[in-house]
Structure 1
Amino acid sequence: MTLLGALALTLQLSAVAPALPPLPTLTVRAGARLQSVPTIRHPDGGIAVRADVLAEALGGQVVTEASGSGRYRFEVGTTGLDLEAGSALVVAAGDTMPLRAGVFRNGGQLYVPLALATELLPRLGAGVLFDPDKAELRRFSTVTVARRPPATRAPQPRVRVDTPGPATRTAPVDNVRNAPAARSASLRQRVVVVDAGHGGPDNGMSGPIGVPTKIYEKTITLSFAKALRAALEQREIQVVMTRTTDTLIALGDRGRIANQAKADLFLSVHVNAANPRWTNPGGARGFETYFLAEAKTEDERRVAAMENEAIRFETDADLTRDDPLGFIMRDMAQNEHLRESGRLAELLQLGMKRVHPGPSRGVKQAGFRVLVTAFMPAVLVEIGFGTNKLEAQYMTDAERQRELASTLADAVVRYLEQYERKVGGGG
């Protein structure tokens, strides 16, 4: 075959062969430093990254436990993962967990599946999160926690610094973005966790009643949570999102994310649904704000049961064990957070009353699982009834979302300023 014939055959084969998608490059942000980590194709499918390059980008290291043993320790901050070449299992703090694919060596280097960075490290509280909106893996700035006054157990705002030291510790959270720089050195950094209810296989509420085209609670809450994030960041508040995509986050993990972030407040956003046994369920309207305490009315218990039902989508949840909710709620009743959560709920409810077209249904209390594990002032906001046609239109309108988010952000600032004056002895 002539050279031209061989070239023609090669071009023909390349034209019919399926083109592989280009490999992505993982961007890692650690403080002000950005580093690109190249990826390769995993032998079993998917994407893999070089372990030592990933660890170095995150400020950690990979340690070979014994020459020729195939065992390694991947360390980031205080989190250590025990890996073994050829195995799809990882050991962390004595727990063995599966990886999406196995650890392997290639060209004398150790590689790990990309999911170890984007899924496992954030879940283990390693001070790492993956922002899918920007395809960016982030290692958080360390946090110096100010000593809280002895007279209260409510949260004290903290100052974030970039240089690790013996008196600092990493705050592992999910989906955080840096807020604008403070206007003055005396302005302390505030951290608020915004939780978009439901997600993934858990659609939450669907509505409106009598309308063929349905909307889902998980979609509205995510869209509104992003609007609220933007409004809070405009007010120089750092925001942590429990989710930024259509994914399922366990109810218990949402509050833990806030604890790991050392957040000042936890706001969980939801959409209400009418009781089908009501006389006119499609006409039910209004907004309400809940804090964690024992429900006083049948409707409070109904709303809590509706939102707590999301636990059935958590495949690893043990639904047969004794429910600790009652014990935790009784313990929290003695906690200053209960009083602060009630005050926060009042300010949020007043703020919504200024712009929301529906009636105010008031501040209420119930046993929401999503609030149980958040050890700080924590509230759940029902921004309207998705089963009502007019309120469904209101909640899905981008301009109305921004307006409602703005008034909630103002209420958050007002609460934080009042709290800071109280603990600081101001007027």
Structure 2
Amino acid sequence: MMPLGALALALQLSAAVPAVPSLPPLAVRAGNRMQSVPTMRHPDGGIAIRADAVAEALGGQLVSLSNGRARYRLEVGTTGVDLEAGSALAVIAGDTVPLRAGVFRRGGRLYVPLALATELLPRLGAGVLFDPDKAELRRFATVTVARRAPAPRPRAETPRPGLPASPADNVRSAPANRSASLRQRVVVVDAGHGGRDNGMSGPIGGGPRVYEKNVTLAVSKLLQSALEERGVRVVMTRTTDTLIGLYDRGPIANAAKGDLFVSIHVNAANPRWQNPGSARGFETYFLAEAKTEDERRVAAMENEAVKFETDADVSRDDPLGFIMRDMAQNEHLRESMRLATLIQTGLRTVHPGPSRGVKQAGLAVLVTAFMPAVLVEIGFGTNRAEAQYMTDGDRQRELASTLADAVVRYLEQYERKVGGGG
């Protein structure tokens, strides 16, 4: 589904020349300079935009990463987006993010879906804003933060003070010097499953039995403590081994006037996979229509918990359409993706498994939380090594601290955004 901002632009552009295959250019303003960037109809529907032109208009550049000119990096300020012709995925700071449509070449030029410029870049701290009313993309001056050159560091390094300028940097934040305004923010931490709903169990192939509900509760409690140490108020959806309905967790967050909703879960391999016990890694979801079979698998697995709710209203099992029609929630989806990206970036620094990227799916637990909301799969309980990792107390504290740093980083970025900072 095309977001409202992109849809508004599509209507304006398509209405201007309904009988001509080409479309009018997009207006791009960088400071006092205004440029026009060529657009065209995307072969898969919607609008495509010339990548080199939009990068140059924003004061950046498009760099070829291979001799065959199939791989590129679109750079704006300190933000880099890696692209590949023929793919509908982008790589940002090592994390894979789905695009609205594929990247393609035409007439020797690289084209990307319009949403990359109007949605993705504004989320990445590149100083870019899209005004749908004027169909205008703008770039503002950003504040450059001086940093030491990165150096190898031990696993338990003391966090550096200060705020890195891009999601590619370390997301750790020192508990000291927290903005007083963060104390007014409320983060709702949701420990997945509980009570008679054990969630997944593992590992495959034997070993100490691991139940998802116990791991999520332990990590969630540690995350609560880590956030409170950083000056953030926390509300828990559960603090004991009890069952909370999937569609009741969001209303708990809403009643608490939460600013963020973070749901902690443990992944499980599809038993039909080849060697499912070897599946490893972490991934973070935000609420949107699933685009891949694996995203649909995770959504089905997590949404299955509704069967434990004897009075559940199963007529709500397709809530995504309602959310996607709500303008306010659409903004929450954008912010959710930003939070998910920061979480993935942070977990890469401590987790022994691979980053499986930022993903999207129609997850019931996120549907009724009317705020930026994410679901974090902190590892595969079906993998013996990761099951051991996630049940180790020290590793749980490390995971919780890293998640807390990412949440605080997001809140600090948000404070600068609403406060008019860079």
Alignment TM class, shorter chain as reference: 0.5 to 0.7
Separation in 2 of the partners of 1:297 and 1:248? 30
Separation in 2 of the partners of 1:362 and 1:275? 18
**1:331 to 2:331 alignment:** no
SS class of match (2:199): coil
Matches within 5 A, 1:6-405: 188-211=183-206, 213-319=208-314, 321=315, 323-332=317-326, 335-405=330-400
**Which blocks of at least 5 consecutive residues in structure 1 are unaligned?**
1-150, 153-179
SS class of match (2:325): helix
Residue pair 2:324, 2:330 contacting (<8 A) in 1 also: no
What letter is aligned with 1:330?
M
Compared CA separation, residues 307 and 281, structure 1 to 2 (3 A)? same
Compared CA separation, residues 264 and 300, structure 1 to 2 (3 A)? same
**Which blocks of at least 5 consecutive residues in structure 2 are unaligned?**
1-130, 133-174
CA-to-partner distance for each residue in 1:188-232, whole Å, 9 max, x for gaps? 411100000000000000000011541100000000101111111
What letter is aligned with 2:369?
A
Separation in 2 of the partners of 1:296 and 1:290? 12
SS class of match (2:194): coil
Query: TM-score with structure 1 length normalisation?
Result: 0.56
Larger RCO, structure (CA 8 Å, separation 6 or more): 2
Separation in 2 of the partners of 1:235 and 1:192? 12
Residue pair 1:328, 1:372 contacting (<8 A) in 2 also: no
Which structure would you say has the larger Rg?
1
Q: Percent identity?
A: 77
Separation in 1 of the partners of 2:293 and 2:322? 21
Give the drift of 1:330: 2.1
Residue pair 1:265, 1:377 contacting (<8 A) in 2 also: yes
Separation in 1 of the partners of 2:400 and 2:199? 21
CA-to-partner distance for each residue in 1:280-313, whole Å, 9 max, x for gaps? 1000000000000000000000000000000000
Residue pair 2:182, 2:232 contacting (<8 A) in 1 also: no
Give the drift of 1:183: 7.2
Give the drift of 1:420: 1.1
Residue pair 1:182, 1:189 contacting (<8 A) in 2 also: no
In structure 1, the partner of 2:408 is: 413
Compared CA separation, residues 213 and 188, structure 1 to 2 (3 A)? closer
In structure 2, the partner of 1:159 is: none
Compared CA separation, residues 284 and 184, structure 1 to 2 (3 A)? closer
What letter is aligned with 2:193?
H
What letter is aligned with 1:190?
R
What letter is aligned with 2:219?
F
SS class of match (2:348): helix
What letter is aligned with 1:426?
G
What letter is aligned with 1:328?
F
Give the drift of 1:417: 0.7
SS class of match (1:335): helix
Compared CA separation, residues 369 and 284, structure 1 to 2 (3 A)? same
Give the drift of 1:325: 1.2
Count the aligned residue pairs.
249
Separation in 2 of the partners of 1:183 and 1:410? 11
Separation in 2 of the partners of 1:185 and 1:408? 20
Residue pair 2:183, 2:232 contacting (<8 A) in 1 also: no
Compared CA separation, residues 395 and 212, structure 1 to 2 (3 A)? closer
